[in-house]
Amino acid sequence: SGFEVVCRVVHESFHRQGVWIFGMEDVPACMCTQLVFGSVDNLRTGELHWSYLGNICKENLKKFKCFKRRYPHLKTFVELGHWDVREHLRKMAADPSKRRTFAANTVKFLLNFGLDGLSVFIGEEPFEVLSQSTKQNLAALLKELSAAFKPAGKLLSATFRGTENMQDFAKNIEPYVDFIYVLAIRMRQNDFGVTGMHTQLHPLPSDPEKYKAHNIETYIRTLAKVVPKHKLLAVLAFEGTAFRLASSDKPGFYDPSQPGLSAVYKGQYTKNPQAIGYFEFCRLYDYHTWHHDWNETFISTYVYSDKDWISYDDGRSVSARARWLVNEGVGGVVAWSIDKDDFRGICGSVYPMLESI
Asked if the structure places residue 232 within a domain, the reply is yes
State the pLDDT at residue 49.
Answer: 64
Asked if the structure places residue 20 within a domain, the reply is yes
Asked if the structure places residue 301 within a domain, the reply is no
Phi, psi of 278 (to 5 degrees): -55, -40
Vertex 337: Cα angle to 334 and 338 (nearest 5): 105
Domain that holds residue 221: 4-237+313-356
Residues of the chain with pLDDT under 50: none
Total-model pTM? 0.95
State the pLDDT at residue 210.
Answer: 85
State the pLDDT at residue 66.
Answer: 81
State the pLDDT at residue 209.
Answer: 87
State the pLDDT at residue 140.
Answer: 98
Asked if the structure places residue 308 within a domain, the reply is no
State the pLDDT at residue 52.
Answer: 55
Asked if the structure places residue 57 within a domain, the reply is yes
**H or E element: which one contains 102?**
helix 96-113
Asked if the structure places residue 185 within a domain, the reply is yes
User: Is-contact 83 160, C-beta < 8 A?
Assistant: no
What's 81's domain CATH number?
3.20.20.80
Asked if the structure places residue 279 within a domain, the reply is no
Structural domains counted in the chain = 1
C-alpha distances in Å from residue 197, one per residue of 106, 183, 291: 37, 14, 16
**Spatial separation of the C-alpha atoms in residues 30 and 14, rounded to whole Å:** 21
Closest Cα partner for 34 from 2, 57, 62, 56? Answer: 2
Asked if the structure places residue 288 within a domain, the reply is no
